[in-house]
Amino acid sequence: MKLLTHNMLTSNIIKGVSNGFPLGIVANKVEVKDVDFNQSFVLKTLSKVDWNALRQAATQVGHGDGLPEELGEDLKENDDVLKKIHNAMLQVEVVEGELVCPETGRKFPISNGIPNMLLLEHELQ
C-alpha cells in the first residue's frame, strides 16, 4: 500500500463511522519501489492530498525526512522537495502491518502489500 492510497482511504463504510480519516498506520514491513517521477501528476495530486496526514504517515513509517511542514507556493520551482514528496506518496509502500479506524479502533490487516477492507455482517450499512 502506497501512502497516497492511505491518504485517500477511509473507514466510513463501517456503519456508524462518519469520517474514518485518517486511518492509523502500524507498519511491520516497509519497502521503497521505483516509480517514474511525473512533476505535473505530483502537483495535481497534491491539491487532493491531506498534507498533514501524508507527512505524519511518512514519518510514522520512517520516511518523513525532508518533507516540509507546510507546502509553500513556490513548490513548482522546487524539484528537490517535489521528488521527496513523490517518494513519500508513490514509492514508499507498507507491505505488512495494519490500518486502524480512528473512530472505532477497528483494525484492517495489510498483508502482501494489500489492505483488507472487507467488513463483517454487523458492520454493514
Is 110 within 8 Å of 116 (Cβ atoms)? yes
Is 3 within 8 Å of 58 (Cβ atoms)? yes
Q: Which stretch binds another protein (CB under 8 A): 24-32, 56-64, 68-76, 116-124?
A: 116-124
Residue 101 CA, distance from chain mean position: 14
**Residue closer to another protein (CB basis): 39 or 59:** 39
What mask, x for binding another protein by CB under 8 A, covers residues 43 to 72? -xx--x------------------------
The three-class DSSP label of residue 111 is strand
**Residue closer to another protein (CB basis): 21 or 55:** 21
Q: How far apart are CA 22 and CA 100, in angstroms?
A: 9
> Any contact of residue 125 with another protein (CB under 8 A)?
yes
Q: How far apart are CA 35 and CA 16, in angstroms?
A: 37
The three-class DSSP label of residue 81 is helix
**Residue closer to another protein (CB basis): 9 or 81:** 9
> Any contact of residue 82 with another protein (CB under 8 A)?
no
List of residues contacting another protein (CB under 8 A): 1-2, 4-5, 8-13, 20-21, 35, 38, 40-41, 44-45, 48, 90, 112-119, 121, 124-125
